[in-house]
Homo-oligomer: A and B are copies of this chain.
Amino acid sequence: MDTVLDIAILGLLMDRDHHGYEIRTQLRDRLGVWANVSFGSIYPALARLERLGLVEAVAVADARTLSSLSTGSLSGERAALRSRRTSSGLGRRGRKVYSITERGRAEFVAMLANPATVDDSKNFSLRMALARYLTPPRRVALLERRRADLVERLDEVRAGSNNELLDEYARGVMDHAAKGVELDLAWIDNLLTAERSNQQSLAHEAT
């Protein structure tokens, strides 16, 4: 359960309804992590999420109109879609449009906030791209977890780049890796200070 793709798909559906084919491009354009996930991953994932009751297929009145209807009152749009729900969910053109359920929303936020799986950079980037769905404390928790991982990793690669036994090329790779981790760390630290000053200004307003 808790896979990267699941989170990504649910994250897209938090914003608005999508059909499978569309999810691929959205994954690239809005979450930017991968270069085109294959349909062989997307369709089975959607089927599984539907079985779990986290998403459901909805009927589409007019597909063209719907897909341009990305903004506007979120709750109003959701209510409208719920009213034209069917068992098949197949629009007149064979497109199967999915909507996230209430349970799906709850599960999504829980998955997103789970700090256990921020280990690799892709996982973390995806979560940050969806960070607006997290409460400030959850965001900070994720950032701090990631920071700790990076500090550990930095020690490892620095040891490598100082290892005299390694040849020029291997050491160069380690050295570059260290620079990459340093860049990541600087980013995290920026985000953390932004997060904290934001919380402070909110606290200030409240006085």
Contact = CB atoms under 8 A, between A and B. Distances in A.
A116 to B, nearest CB: 16
A3 to B, nearest CB: 19
Given A125-B177, A187-B176, A32 B157 contact: yes
A103 to B, nearest CB: 24
A130 interface: yes
Contacts of A174: 32
> Is the contact region of chain A dominated by helix, strand, or loop, or is it mixed?
helix
Interface stretch (A51-59, A60-68, A81-89, A164-172): A164-172
Given A176-B187, A177-B125, A180-B183, A29 B168 contact: no
Contacts of A29: 160, 163
Interface in A99-135: 125, 128-132
B132 A173 contact: no
Interface in A33-64: 35
Given A32-B170, A129-B169, A130-B169, 15 more contacts: A28-B156, A29-B160, A29-B163, A30-B165, A32-B173, A125-B173, A125-B177, A128-B169, A128-B172, A129-B173, A172-B191, A176-B183, A179-B183, A179-B187, A180-B184
Considering the complex of A and B, which 9 residue pairs feature the smallest CB-CB distances, nearest first? A131-B169, A129-B170, A32-B160, A129-B173, A176-B187, A128-B173, A125-B173, A132-B167, A32-B174
